[in-house]
Chains A and B, each alone.
Chain A
Amino acid sequence: GAGVSQSPSNKVTEKGKDVELRCDPISGHTALYWYRQSLGQGLEFLIYFQGNSAPDKSGLPSDRFSAERTGGSVSTLTIQRTQQEDSAVYLCASSLEWGGLETQYFGPGTRLLVL
């Protein structure tokens, strides 16, 4: 597609439920990133995928958070047993390669509200 797409656009869930957020990167982009944007916390890195390499999970805030990337393309971020502090906008980005030189292009985000 023309850009990074994410679904759903908005998600409202109850505390304790699991949620799955989806990201479709730009075609041909081998690197994929998840970030979280929340009030008072700004934008924070969550996880990074590059090709078939092991992902960099160093930004995941707890073991309730996990992500996978199937076939080197679509990625799913899963939050188990959601808490109210998980409410945020979850942004996905992709880039051509890793190495620090390539621009990351962001999707529109998924706005998650945990009641």
Chain B
Amino acid sequence: AQSVAQPEDQVNVAEGNPLTVKCTYSVSGNPYLFWYVQYPNRGLQFLLKYITGDNLVKGSYGFEAEFNKSQTSFHLKKPSALVSDSALYFCAVRDPLSGGYNKLIFGAGTRLAVHP
């Protein structure tokens, strides 16, 4: 069965430092991978996605993610964190070969805290 794992409940980073939020997946076939961010009392906002092509995907707000097929990972990164990046981040996968391939399977979420 397809699944997404976000191994860290929380990531703490100092403002200006690089940040990484980890995501690994397990799907049959080629995965479609997404990152969303959720600010307090808000819905999910799309950050970026990987469908095919370059393994390094650039998205909104200076975020990027690297697709690594051999490690089945899709870690979210940003070179220099801002306090305003503090939020809940969700990794998600859509498996195009599964029967319900229009569903997004979400990870449990990682809370990012950026300290001044």
Q: Give the number of chain A interface residues (Cβ < 8 Å).
A: 27
The answer to whether B46 and A42 have CB atoms under 8 Å apart is: no
The answer to whether B103 and A56 have CB atoms under 8 Å apart is: yes
Q: Give the number of chain B interface residues (Cβ < 8 Å).
A: 25
B57 at the interface (CB under 8 A from A): no
The answer to whether A31 and B90 have CB atoms under 8 Å apart is: no
Partner of B102, one of A31, A35, A43, A105: A31
Partner of A98, one of B44, B102, B105, B107: B102
The answer to whether A58 and B100 have CB atoms under 8 Å apart is: yes
Contacts of B44 in A (CB 8 A): 91, 93, 106
The answer to whether A50 and B106 have CB atoms under 8 Å apart is: no
The answer to whether B90 and A43 have CB atoms under 8 Å apart is: yes
- With contact pairs A91-B43, A101-B32 given, residues A43 and B100 touching in the complex (Cβ less than 8 Å): no
A47 and chain B: residue at smallest CB distance: B103
| Residues of A that sit less than 8 Å from B by CB | 4, 6, 31, 33, 35, 42-45, 48, 50, 56, 58-59, 91, 93, 98-101, 103-109
Q: Using a CB-CB cutoff of 8 Å, which residues 4-47 of chain B contact chain A?
A: 32, 34, 36, 41-46
- With contact pairs A50-B102, A56-B103, A100-B32 given, residues A4 and B43 touching in the complex (Cβ less than 8 Å): yes
The interface centre, meaning the residue of A48, A50, A104, A108 with most chain B CB atoms within 10 A of its CB, is A104
- With contact pairs A101-B32, A106-B44 given, residues A42 and B100 touching in the complex (Cβ less than 8 Å): no
